[in-house]
Structure 1
Amino acid sequence: MSSSKVDILGIQFINSSLVDIMKLLNNHIQKKEKAFVVTANPEIVVHSHRDQNYRKLINTATYITPDGTGIVKASRFLNQPICERVTGFDIFMNALQVADEKQWCVYFLGAKDAVLNRTLETVKQLYPSLKTVGAHHGYFGLDDEHIIEDIRQAQPDFIFVAMGFPRQEQWIARHISKFEKGVFIGVGGCFDVLSGTTKRAPQIWQKLNIEWLYRLLQQPQRGRRMMALPLFALKILKQKAKMLK
């Protein structure tokens, strides 16, 4: 099971398949260990260059997965090819399935109440025997002790944190030391997708590597955020130029 690292603009991405990453996470749970998973796309990488504290924070993660075609393409351009894209949504859905099979406990943290409730309803339909030991919306102070104590009492194996970057990574990094065990995964907008609040791009869009365009057409307000993509490409070109010197 490969778990080498690839440096993309100072962010250390794991170079493993989804199958192997899930084996690593399952192993942490079986050993009652803690793990911190960041699912990073080009937007997160660009933000990490604007915020050095955030950059240091995400590099403390146990695993940073390449959640974005741009990350995989950049790795190939830099002659450090990452084997495949591993999205937060795929990790999320695989974790739900394995938790259902093995009767592991899960906790959902994030999104608005309405979205969270729809997510829980969908999960119950998909996995009727899944052990959901707690859930809380994402609108609270990062140091809210009530949330921390609730999760600590529940003792979940998977903790899905859907508060968007950089907040979800900040919360995990700040508090993971307070828990005895658990795989903490920043899953961004996964609750929105699973609840049906937003739609994931159809397979054909994903295969053509234009999922970003589908999201932009669905949510035009994302246009400003999409400016991170050309900035990411420019930074990759600069990194390549340094390598050739």
Structure 2
Amino acid sequence: MPNESNIKNQVSIMDIDFINMTKSEFLHDHIYPRLSSEDKCFVVTANPEIVMRTRDEAAYKAIVEKADYVVPDGAGVVMASKMINKPLKERIPGFELTISLLEHAEAQGLSCYFLGAKEYVIEKMVPEVKKRYPNLKIAGQQHGFFALDDSSVTEEIIATKPDVVFVALGSPRQETWISKYIDQFSKGLFIGVGGSFDVLAGEVKRAPDKWIKYNLEWLYRLLKEPFRLKRFLKSIEFMIRMVLKRK
């Protein structure tokens, strides 16, 4: 990782280095200062599925390793850290990071760009964000149905000079886009946020607090969205491999 020397506490899981700090420590000690200094930053919010993809696809692993920070977004990652006796302090969900960043951006007068999701979702989400954060500066928006090689999309985003770019293209597309184009920007925090736009738009509901507290949000999502079964099986494979590795 480019800034690995600045991160003293990490846990390596299947050759991926995860930050080992609380969400508050991560934001206040790393992210907010970098936003203040307009220092470019690439954040990957990684769950077991993403870790498994890095194992299967060398090109994708190189992209994740290029990130400044890999955040443990997934109960399976936290469980795996305990299996190897290097427990992560806490799970840091990408959606919660999104909310914290929106709050900080509104308070500090920073601008945000929203990239990704279906067109009707982002059209519904942006007004909801404006309603929730009335003083937030919104640099722009673009749905996720475009070719990654379409540089005109990137040029339009660059022209808005955003401080934070939320990329909700799903993995591996969102990390691929960030890696491909981040060097063309002069500043900005770039973070892959998966399905967060759907939640902000009200299209998908987060699990109740008790489910989240006991790291069962994945089960809630699976029960509500059975089509996630294939992704869930990847998480099961991840856990099996961690158990076998421990033995």
CA distance in 2, matches of 1:163, 1:3: 30
Change (3 A) 1:97 1:3: farther
CA displacement at 1:144 relative to structure 2: 1.3
Is 1:78 the equivalent of 2:81?
Answer: no
CA distance in 2, matches of 1:133, 1:214: 34
CA distance in 2, matches of 1:232, 1:148: 34
CA distance in 1, matches of 2:8, 2:170: 26
Give the counterpart of 1:17 among 12, 16, 22: 22
Q: Deviations over 1:78-125 (max 9, x none)?
A: 011110100100110000000000010100000011100111011011
Flag structure 2 segments of 5+ consecutive residues without an equivalent.
1-5
The number of aligned residues is 241
Equivalent position of 1:169 in the other structure = 175
Q: Secondary structure at the match of 2:170?
A: coil
Give the counterpart of 1:7 among 3, 12, 16: 12
Give the counterpart of 1:231 among 229, 234, 237: 237
CA distance in 2, matches of 1:3, 1:107: 31
CA displacement at 1:166 relative to structure 2: 0.3
Give runs of aligned pairs for residues 52-201 of structure 1, distance below 5 A: 52-201=58-207
Kindly indicate whether the alpha-carbon contact (under 8 Å) linking 1:119 and 1:191 is maintained by their aligned counterparts in 2.
yes
Provide the identity percentage. Answer: 42
Q: Secondary structure at the match of 2:203?
A: coil
User: Aligned partner of 1:80: which letter?
Assistant: K
CA distance in 1, matches of 2:165, 2:113: 5
CA distance in 1, matches of 2:192, 2:7: 22
Give the counterpart of 2:214 among 197, 204, 208: 208
CA distance in 2, matches of 1:180, 1:46: 32
Kindly indicate whether the alpha-carbon contact (under 8 Å) linking 1:9 and 1:239 is maintained by their aligned counterparts in 2.
no
**TM-score, with length taken from structure 2:** 0.95
Q: Secondary structure at the match of 2:220?
A: helix
CA-based RMSD: 1.3
User: Aligned partner of 1:99: which letter?
Assistant: A
Report the more deviating stretch, 75-84 or 94-103: 75-84
CA distance in 2, matches of 1:90, 1:219: 20
Q: Deviations over 1:47-69 (max 9, x none)?
A: 11111111121011000000011
Report the more deviating stretch, 26-35 or 85-94: 26-35
Q: Deviations over 1:3-27 (max 9, x none)?
A: 5111001111011111111121111
CA displacement at 1:145 relative to structure 2: 1.5
CA distance in 1, matches of 2:37, 2:237: 41
CA distance in 2, matches of 1:230, 1:183: 32
Q: Secondary structure at the match of 1:200?
A: coil
**TM-score, with length taken from structure 1:** 0.95
User: Aligned partner of 1:168: which letter?
Assistant: Q
CA distance in 2, matches of 1:48, 1:200: 27
